[in-house]
Amino acid sequence: MTTLRFMLGVVAADNLELIQLDVKTTFLHGDLQEEIYMEQLKGFVASGQEHLVCRLKKSQYGLKQSSRQWYKKFDDFIQSAGFSKSDEEHCLFTKTTRDGSLIFLIIYGGDLLLSGRDAGELAELVRQLRLKFAMKDIGPSRHILRMKISWKRNQRQLFLSQTDYSGRVLERFNMQSTKSASTPLPINIRLS
């Protein structure tokens, strides 16, 4: 969260573009380093070959190493595209553009958050990413990690709110009428 708040603070202060991408079937992109076998799926067992097992060639959901293999594949690709990984926060990547400005990229699970000054550079990065991975371009980020992003660009202010998410959680547990309490975060925190 600290890295995300830092990046959003830079976005607000420098009036940068903010784009969100969603990688489709994220964990299926990873390549396995070890041999993994699984039983044949019910309904797909070949008659007379019930004793056989399947060897996985690609990572899939449910494997302990799926997220690691996805991250490794993404890390290799994005560094080959000229990005540097932060030593302190491995989900943050940066690249210096031709005009000397920075492009920031944060990866969290199968979602990517990009920011930078040059919309053309960002569009080219999105194009490269879409050639390598199946992605959905969400466009300007309005929600991230169940937080709503409100942005007053002309005032260079950006706000994060979990009001909608909190409301859904309260409804889920039938607690809409409970009394509210202040949060442990500082009141009126500003990202600037």
Query: Which domains does the chain carry?
Result: 2-31+63-144 (3.30.310)
Residue 130: the pLDDT is 92
**Average pLDDT, rounded, for the chain:** 86
Report CA Rg, the chain: 21
Which position has the token pair 């909608």? 164
Of 35-39, 65-69, 158-162, 184-188, the range with the lowest mean pLDDT is 184-188
Asked if the model's pLDDT at residue 105 lies above 90, the reply is yes
Report d(CA 120, CA 110) in Å as an integer.
23
Q: How confident is the model at residue 191 (pLDDT cuts 50, 70, 90)?
A: low
Among 29-33, 62-66, 87-91, 182-186, the range scoring the smallest mean pLDDT is 182-186
Cα-flanking dihedrals φ and ψ of residue 2, to 5°? Answer: -60, -45
pLDDT tens by residue, 166-176: 888 888 898 88
Average pLDDT over residues 25-45: 82
* pLDDT beyond 70 at 178: yes
Across residues 22-27, what is the average pLDDT? 84
**How many Å apart are CA 146 and CA 75, to the nearest integer?**
25
pLDDT in tens, 56-83: 888 877 778 888 888 999 999 999 999 9
